[in-house]
Amino acid sequence: MEYSKEVMDRYNDPKNVGSLDESDRNVGTSVVGAPSCGDVIKLQIKVDENGKISEAKFKTFGCGAAIASSALITEWVHGKSLEEAKTIKNKEVAQYLSLSPVKAHCSVLAEEAVDKAIENYLIKNQSEK
Amino acid sequence: MKKKTIDVVYMDYQATTPCDKRVLEDMTPYFCEDFGNPHSINHVMGLRAKEAVEKARKQVADLINADDPREILFTSGATESNNLAIQGAARFYREKGNKIITSVMEHKCVLEACRALEREGFEIVAIPVLRNGIIDLQSLEKAVDERTILVSVMSVNNEIGTIQPIDEISEICRSRGALFHTDAAQAVGKIKVDASRVDLMSISGHKIYGPKGVGALYVRLKPRVRLKPLFFGGGQERGVRSGTLATPLCVGLGKACEIARFEMETERIRLTELKNYFLKKIFDSLDKVYLNGDENRRIPGCINLSFDGIEGEGIMLGMPDICVSSGSACTSDSLEPSYVLREISIREDLAHSSLRIGLGRFTTFEEVDYASSRIVDVVNRLRAMSPIW
């Protein structure tokens, strides 16, 4: 598989690998994909008092495109409000990384991971109010 | 002593092998000097080429223990040989029945040739494999009946290197009067193959240090096995495979077979040592690595491992200078993981986590050492960022 420089940079030196405290009420967590399908992304966001994403971490089981897509999207959500983060589309990720059509599902998974992490954060904070 | 630095390690010998220099040397004169058409037997140039082709035919026959060199037909490679054997036999013996039996672990060219026959109305049965990567003989026994024209099962699996029970399959076929074809592309030159056990056998040049673009099909003469040709022309190769033979390629295949015949045993011993050394290094450094396929019934040069928690293409990306392959979905165009691995893996995700490491004639200890260290480094790095490790 031939990848763009953007993919290789993120595969070789991904920013934001790691995890956040899942029990923290300011942290939203998502796990998307399935091991049997060959891709799993765990993505976490931390939301500050201004409602902005102050930290985003990921761990990914998958190919180069899956790792790069999750790394890139954690870079992009950083500093954004939840509303802004939700507007990031998989097409933008795929385009930025020059993913081939066969790898497009990796960017779909990354978008889903962000949406689910936001959802998790919102549910958590709703029930605790 | 200064150590030579390694820049690329080729460990994909099941995909293809480099041409042995001794092979190339024998081929060379037949391009520009002795370039005659081996079918122009009424002049000296044609005769010289014919003589070279016939010598090669004998060399191939000797390696696979064929009774008569005329049982060897030259083709463009194992894909053509497999198509010719399967489609040719099915169409010739159509009146006998309409059942063709194969296995789920066959090379694509066998499965696709069968699929083409299915569209023509033949019944295709694909026998499953057991957990150890060996064909399920009981299912095979149940499936073969008097309406079965042909059974096609590979001798050695190309992904995991398991050796299939050719003698047992042969007995089942003979007791029911079915023809037996084996795709021996990964077996010839690596283990002893015996044409007396089969009716048809496919051979590839470039898997055994010969040139690409040439292969052979063994077609039994006694009792005679008949085939319908795939295409038509001058009626060369016993009327089954028309087209002017590529003399240098035939010579190359012959020489490759001759070398394999004499060096097979020493090579097998050397590769077993290399394999053991490699596996020890990997297992000593990493947890939860699984060897796919039967531990004993396998060729030493094909090592297929699953690395729990990470994905095969991801591993390969981290070491582009180490040439291996993976059964992961992400290395295939269809996004389907290897069927064989999915069948035999203890967990479904492990099919995605596989690497096939192929050792061969020119693999050195230094290369094995270097490659295993690189693999360990990349596996550790990726496991650290895996959510399922």
Nearest to A40 among B330, B331, B387 (CB): B387
Half-sphere CA count of B238, side-chain side, radius 13 A: 17
Residue B157 near residue B126 (C-beta atoms within 8 A) = no
- Using one digit for the tens of pLDDT, what is the confidence trace for B151-170? 999 999 999 999 999 999 99
The per-residue pLDDT of chain B, averaged, comes to 96
- Using one digit for the tens of pLDDT, what is the confidence trace for B111-157? 999 999 999 999 999 999 999 999 999 999 999 999 999 999 999 99
pTM: 0.94
Residue B182 near residue B210 (C-beta atoms within 8 A) = no
Residue to test with chain A: of B317, B326, B349, B350, most A Cβ within 10 A: B317
- A106 has catalytic annotation: yes
Which residues share a beta bridge with B73? B217
Cβ-based neighbours of B238, under 8 Å, separated by 6 or more: B70, B73, B219
Cβ-based neighbours of B223, under 8 Å, separated by 6 or more: none
d(CA B244, CA B238): 13
pLDDT confidence of residue A10: 97
pLDDT confidence of residue B2: 54
- Using one digit for the tens of pLDDT, what is the confidence trace for B250-304? 999 999 999 999 999 999 999 999 999 999 999 999 999 999 999 999 999 999 9
Are B329 and A38 a contacting pair at CB < 8 A? yes
pLDDT confidence of residue B334: 66
- A87: closest CA among A68, A111, A71, A69? A111
Q: Which helix (H) or strand (E) holds A119?
A: helix A104-127
Tell me, what's the ipTM?
0.94
Residue B291 near residue A1 (C-beta atoms within 8 A) = no
A19, A22, A24, A37: the catalytic one is: A37
Residue A43 near residue A70 (C-beta atoms within 8 A) = yes
Which amino acid type is present at position A11?
A: Y
Average pLDDT over every residue of B22-43? 97
**Phi-psi label, residue A121: left if phi above 0, alpha if psi -120 to 50, beta otherwise:** alpha
Are B330 and A38 a contacting pair at CB < 8 A? yes
- Using one digit for the tens of pLDDT, what is the confidence trace for A34-69? 999 999 999 999 999 999 999 999 999 999 999 999
Walk me through the domains of chain B, giving residue ranges and CATH numbers: 9-17+263-379 (3.90.1150.10), 21-259 (3.40.640.10)
Walk me through the domains of chain A, giving residue ranges and CATH numbers: 5-124 (3.90.1010.10)
d(CA B150, CA B123): 11
- Using one digit for the tens of pLDDT, what is the confidence trace for A106-127? 999 999 999 999 999 999 998 6
Cβ-based neighbours of A61, under 8 Å, separated by 6 or more: A33, A35, A38, A39, A40, A41, B309, B310, B311, B349, B386, B387, B388, B389
